[in-house]
Structure 1
Amino acid sequence: MADAARRLTALAEELLGAPLPVRIRAWDGSEAGPPGAPALVVRHRRALRRLLWRPGELGLVRGWVAGDIEVDGDLYEALDRLAGVLWERAPGSADGPVRSALGLAAALRDPDLRAAVRELVALAGPGLPPPPPREEVRRRRGVLHSPRRDKAAISHHYDVGNDFYEAVLGPSVVYSCAYWDEGATLEEAQRAKLDLICRKLALKPEDRLLDVGCGWGSMVLHAAREYGVRAVGVTLSTEQAAYARKRIADAGLTDKVEIRVQDYRDIPDGPYDAISSIGMAEHVGSTRYREYAEILRTLLKPGGRLLNHQIARRPQRDEENYHVDAFIDAYVFPDGELSPVGSTVSLLEEAGFEVRDVEAIREHYALTLRQWVANLEAHWAQAVRLTSPGRARVWKLYMAASALSFERNRIGVNQVLAVRTPDSGAAGMPLRSRDWRS
């Protein structure tokens, strides 16, 4: 089988109905495809068995995570080239592929392409499908977005080692979109983001701040140190909480900041002057979002502000048939959901908030993700040692693909500032937009 690459390229183009924009390098050493393009390296025939038994994105991703498929060349360029032929464009979507439904999955079931499928079976060789890589989420217990199931989902993503996240995210350990200026470092951009949120919330000394989904404590630490607030941060990750508590103790701020392992539905001690929710609402779920908004509103005093920093997807014409991304759901954020920003704003208003500002910063997230990928590549051996080769490969693929999705306007990220406006109507907002001082 000295021509496996040529045969695979011909098969792929027949099944996809389009020229393959990357080279193929096969396990037998053969290579085919457009000169100078990145190469999709199929290191083992079992990668094809994965795809035959699970046609679509998940079959390809399992091959990547297991190390059966690699990319030789620029990963961003390879993903960008493949996106145009592999992923179908959702009806009514923004320009570009936004759904994880692979055209290949449909092609493999097309009766007119049986000869091509038989050829692919012959190339794949005999045998049952390999088991999924151990990094994949398996059986899920409990009702979707119940406290118990949410805690398990958060643990899958965040309890993989604080040292791993520190290597990827940098010393700030902020796992959300930074706010960039020309020439800024990642640390400077993350500090600018935290300060922007503090200013939008109009924080002042002795205010009570609640940070929902506080991560490794960066927001509460910054707000207490720079603005003199008294802060409570809640997370479902025990590893995050331990790390955050140590940072706060090292900064001498234990009298100002408390970290709890607590569900947002169980917070008993409102009202707060301000609430920040930074990269947390993606875990709430569409069925729970109205409840989430209502709970946060009850935890705010009249006139208090909420800053909701959240990734958004583009709306679909057929919202009822929208499905979450198979790769993200199985390997990255189990049970996570993205919603259009318009839906988020509507649900916040239905819960009684007055939405005062929406700032779209998707380009900033692309810059942030590219820096995280660079950090991961620079610390690759350490990341593999701290987790596993498969886990490191998951993070590299999802961050690189996400950077492209932000750059191509397939997804966005928005800061929504909302107020629990009192009955008097005096929201305490500045007359001039984006002054952020009361």
Structure 2
Amino acid sequence: MSSCDTNSESTGDTYYRIFKELLSSANIQINGNRPFDIRIKNPNIYKRIVQQGSLALGESYMDGWWECDQLDVFFHLALAAKLNQEMPKSYKDILYIIIGRLINFQSRSRSLIVGKEHYNLGNDLFRMMLDPYMQYSCGYWKDAKTLEEAQLAKMKMICDKLQLKPGMKLLDIGCGWGGLAAYAAENYGVSVTGITISTEQVLIGKERCAGLDVIILNQDYRDLNSKYDRIVSVGMFEHVGPTNYSTYFKIVSRNLNPDGLFLLQTIGCNRSEDYVDPWIEKYIFPNGRIPSIRYIGESSEPYLIVENWHSMGPHYDTTLMAWHERFIAAWPTLQHNYSEHFYRMFVFYLNACAGAFRARHLQLWQILFSIKGVEGGLHYLY
């Protein structure tokens, strides 16, 4: 037993004992020898985490207070054991939940925050971490062996599900850096309009799609007012928020032709809760919310009919670990533009999310909708 363990137990440190018992229920040891055990660098961590919960867990890692060789496994074990339900929620978190029911955190003005603070982090970072099409969403790994193959397979699957044909007009809500728009225009002969609220994404998107039948706009989805044969939205719905779900689906239906199809790809949660992880909220995706099946069903029901619901959460675990591998490999080049604190934040983020998908704490759904129902239904081999 390490001196840190001995001193903590000999003094009857209540915070240490609580934290140790919590981790033990997930088969994780303090200062253990396994790669998923945590090594404590600052003994003040016990009080900090017990009092402040998951926010302190992430912040103390960013501060270098603890280490773990396999963070993804640590989070898989912790979430599989439902330690997140045991972690305390500070009064600030509870107050935030209450306020969130009264205030629209994803209003027009506040929706710009995530574009500024996350998607505008730097094109150098995302170019080196992502695949050549810069797909910042889950890939499809059924037959893929590399990140590029997985993202190409994902884009092909989306286009096939939408039954794209030459001459169709496709709207991409939250188009990112224009990768899917370019792929659809190049391979399916469709005319694409992509919208995003990130200025950095617009720059790359226009560059990528130059010479193609693609328009990339810096625009809020609430300003859409046209008609399209097909609509797609990948990895954007997480930023819409429960207050705006009904508005979102109403706008989609208003902009979709009567015989059109809409494909939504979104991360999903298992329970309909207002709670959001405070560390993710503060450092990664400000104002983000993960929808549940009930939230999606209730808000889309007045406007759209579900044709197909595809659950593929485990594919996100593989995607995130591929991003992590590329991020680590690129760090010697990136470190000149980013701090060590940022490095630890991003490593924590990628591994925590991978562990969450591996534990099935988070889900990934592709949902295909129509306006009035497709006669005979739609059948896919995916």
TM-score, normalised on structure 2?
Answer: 0.87
**Contact 1:65 1:390 (8 Å CA) reproduced:** yes
The verdict on how the C-alpha distance between 1:154 and 1:429 changes in structure 2, with shifts beyond 3 A counting, is farther
Q: Does 1:266 align with 2:228?
A: no
In structure 2, the partner of 1:97 is 82
Which residues in structure 2 correspond to 1:25-424 (within 5 Å)? 33-36=31-34, 38-44=36-42, 47=45, 50-51=48-49, 55-71=52-68, 73-81=69-77, 83=78, 96-97=81-82, 99=84, 102-103=87-88, 143-249=104-210, 252-253=211-212, 256-268=213-225, 270-315=226-271, 319=273, 322-350=274-302, 352-421=303-372
Shift of 1:430: 5.9
Amino acid at match of 1:68: W
**Contact 1:160 1:387 (8 Å CA) reproduced:** no
Corresponding residue SS for 1:195: helix
> Matched residues in 1 for 2:150 and 2:334: separation?
23
Greater CA drift, 10-19 or 180-189: 10-19
TM-score, normalised on structure 1?
Answer: 0.76
**Which ranges in structure 1 are unaligned for 5 or more consecutive residues?**
25-32, 85-94, 107-141, 422-426
C-alpha RMSD of the superposition: 2.7
Shift of 1:46: 6.4
Amino acid at match of 2:220: D
The verdict on how the C-alpha distance between 1:363 and 1:143 changes in structure 2, with shifts beyond 3 A counting, is closer
The verdict on how the C-alpha distance between 1:433 and 1:99 changes in structure 2, with shifts beyond 3 A counting, is same
Amino acid at match of 2:251: I
The verdict on how the C-alpha distance between 1:337 and 1:19 changes in structure 2, with shifts beyond 3 A counting, is closer
Cα distance per residue 1:375-409 (max 9 Å; x no partner): 11212223333332222222221221111211211
Shift of 1:76: 2.3
> Matched residues in 1 for 2:47 and 2:377: separation?
62
Shift of 1:299: 0.6
The verdict on how the C-alpha distance between 1:19 and 1:257 changes in structure 2, with shifts beyond 3 A counting, is closer
In structure 1, the partner of 2:99 is none
Cα distance per residue 1:229-274 (max 9 Å; x no partner): 111100000001101111112xx21xx1000000000123x10111
> Matched residues in 2 for 1:432 and 1:244: separation?
31
Amino acid at match of 1:397: F
**Contact 2:62 2:345 (8 Å CA) reproduced:** yes
In structure 2, the partner of 1:7 is 7
Q: Which has the higher contact order (CA 8 A, sep 6+)?
A: 2
> Matched residues in 2 for 1:315 and 1:23: separation?
29
> Matched residues in 2 for 1:67 and 1:19: separation?
19
**Contact 1:13 1:19 (8 Å CA) reproduced:** no
In structure 1, the partner of 2:98 is none
Cα distance per residue 1:10-46 (max 9 Å; x no partner): 745522445645454xxxxxxxx44445453333466
Amino acid at match of 2:60: G
Corresponding residue SS for 2:171: strand
- Counting aligned pairs with the same residue, the percent is 31
The verdict on how the C-alpha distance between 1:323 and 1:171 changes in structure 2, with shifts beyond 3 A counting, is same
> Matched residues in 1 for 2:186 and 2:285: separation?
31
Cα distance per residue 1:198-239 (max 9 Å; x no partner): 111111111111100000101110110001111110000000
> Matched residues in 2 for 1:18 and 1:286: separation?
32
The verdict on how the C-alpha distance between 1:187 and 1:40 changes in structure 2, with shifts beyond 3 A counting, is same
Amino acid at match of 2:155: L
Number of aligned positions between the proteins: 364
Please identify the structure whose Cα radius of gyration is greater: 1
> Matched residues in 1 for 2:376 and 2:180: separation?
23
> Matched residues in 2 for 1:432 and 1:285: separation?
29
Corresponding residue SS for 1:338: coil
**Contact 2:196 2:202 (8 Å CA) reproduced:** yes
Shift of 1:336: 0.6
Greater CA drift, 57-66 or 196-205: 57-66
The verdict on how the C-alpha distance between 1:333 and 1:173 changes in structure 2, with shifts beyond 3 A counting, is same
